[in-house]
Structure 1
């Protein structure tokens, strides 16, 4: 019996750009996301990310999309999620616009893509996820949910984007923690909802990153 094929990995320069970018995703979970994106890109459809921040994970989706000749689409209002606001744990004052006094991660995101050489591979949608999802008309090969971690925002991301997944497309959810002591529960709840719908089958797990394949109707 032959050994299973090794998962795909990005080129060293792409991985270096990912590691240099501002953001929170660990390298090992990033590699798991990349492997999922490479597989999903074979469907020939766009790869969608919900929650751009400064573009760290966007680099990996864009490189996977480039390899398959498809586009990566990333959606964010760029004003920061709830835990990134002043006074919270993940607040970064370097991404606050001094003129308006609010977070603005869009300039940093653009610099991230430029440094990685991937600007032409990404369509950046600047707006709130439910509004963008309501305008979206086509099918997608992957939806990566990594936006706001309140129930309101996580649920809206799931309800807005999961129906656009093509058959055999992948739903990837980050920061899924079964134990409340490990992290917020909103991503875990949409993960459980997806499984309970009967529309998804879990195909891979790497720490807090869960990968589900759309195998039926009923979202």
Structure 2
């Protein structure tokens, strides 16, 4: 594997410094997967939070001449709501009383100088999916982790991945003691379909290449 280009190195540094939940080893694995995917098409991320993982994808996109499309309603997942473990009152828009991560997302993308490669779509993924027709080179699933929403994202987007493209699934924990099981369920269903082969990932990040 060749070393990252100068422009990619700057974005990787910005990604590692950015606020968010993506561990560095998993972020680097996501970057490498996006960097080496062999088929044409954009990189699409379902679930963006404040843009940390989007910057890892942006580093690969800048290096390979692609774009990153991020899809997120920016109202936070269940665990970010009041009374839950990851709720941050500073993220609540006082005018509407709802979580709003879009300003932080836009700030981090702008500060990293990645606005030319990151296209942010603010909506629920299942609303955008029926309108989307371009085959994807890489699909990164990292949205809400309830069983219902994880299955909905899988049903809405996996079929849009080109043959030869890469599916990345975050927060895959086989042991329930380590984390929620919804992404693991997506992973199991995708592997069981016979349409994908697994390639090396990192930590809770699973990577699969579509073979048919």
**TM-score category of the 2 structures, normalised to the smaller one:** over 0.9
Corresponding position: 1:178 with 2:174:
yes
CA contact (8 A) 2:9 2:59 kept: no
- Equivalent residues, number: 211
CA contact (8 A) 2:164 2:210 kept: yes
Q: State how far apart, in whole Å, the 1-side matches of 2:200 and 2:61 are.
A: 20
Corresponding position: 1:16 with 2:13:
yes
Q: State how far apart, in whole Å, the 2-side matches of 1:43 and 1:65 are.
A: 13
Q: State how far apart, in whole Å, the 1-side matches of 2:70 and 2:8 are.
A: 21
Instruction: Give 1:20 shift.
Output: 2.5
Q: State how far apart, in whole Å, the 2-side matches of 1:196 and 1:164 are.
A: 18
Q: 1:194 aligns with which of 174, 179, 190?
A: 190
Instruction: Give 1:19 shift.
Output: 2.4
Instruction: Give 1:172 shift.
Output: 0.2
Corresponding position: 1:36 with 2:33:
yes
Q: Which position in structure 1 is the counterpart of 2:89?
A: 93
Q: Which position in structure 1 is the counterpart of 2:206?
A: 210
CA contact (8 A) 1:177 1:208 kept: yes
Q: Which position in structure 2 is the counterpart of 1:162?
A: 158
Find the residue that maps to 1:172 and give its secondary structure: strand
CA contact (8 A) 1:34 1:61 kept: yes
Find the residue that maps to 1:138 and give its secondary structure: coil
Q: State how far apart, in whole Å, the 1-side matches of 2:18 and 2:56 are.
A: 11
What per-residue deviation string (whole Å, max 9, x for no partner) do you get for residues 129-156 of structure 1?
A: 1111111011010000001000111111
Find the residue that maps to 1:120 and give its secondary structure: coil
CA contact (8 A) 1:176 1:188 kept: yes
- CA distance 1:6–1:68, change in 2 (3 Å): closer
Q: Which position in structure 1 is the counterpart of 2:109?
A: 113
- Tell me, which stretches of 5 or more residues in structure 2 are unaligned? none
CA contact (8 A) 1:201 1:215 kept: yes
Q: Which position in structure 2 is the counterpart of 1:143?
A: 139
Find the residue that maps to 2:116 and give its secondary structure: helix
The runs of at least 4 consecutive aligned structure 1 residues that moved more than 2 Å come to 5-13
TM-score by length of 2: 0.95
- CA distance 1:67–1:195, change in 2 (3 Å): same
- Tell me, which stretches of 5 or more residues in structure 1 are unaligned? none
CA contact (8 A) 1:44 1:68 kept: no
Instruction: Give 1:16 shift.
Output: 2.5
Instruction: Give 1:175 shift.
Output: 0.3
What per-residue deviation string (whole Å, max 9, x for no partner) do you get for residues 162-198 of structure 1?
A: 0000011000000000000000000000000000011
Q: State how far apart, in whole Å, the 2-side matches of 1:53 and 1:212 are.
A: 23
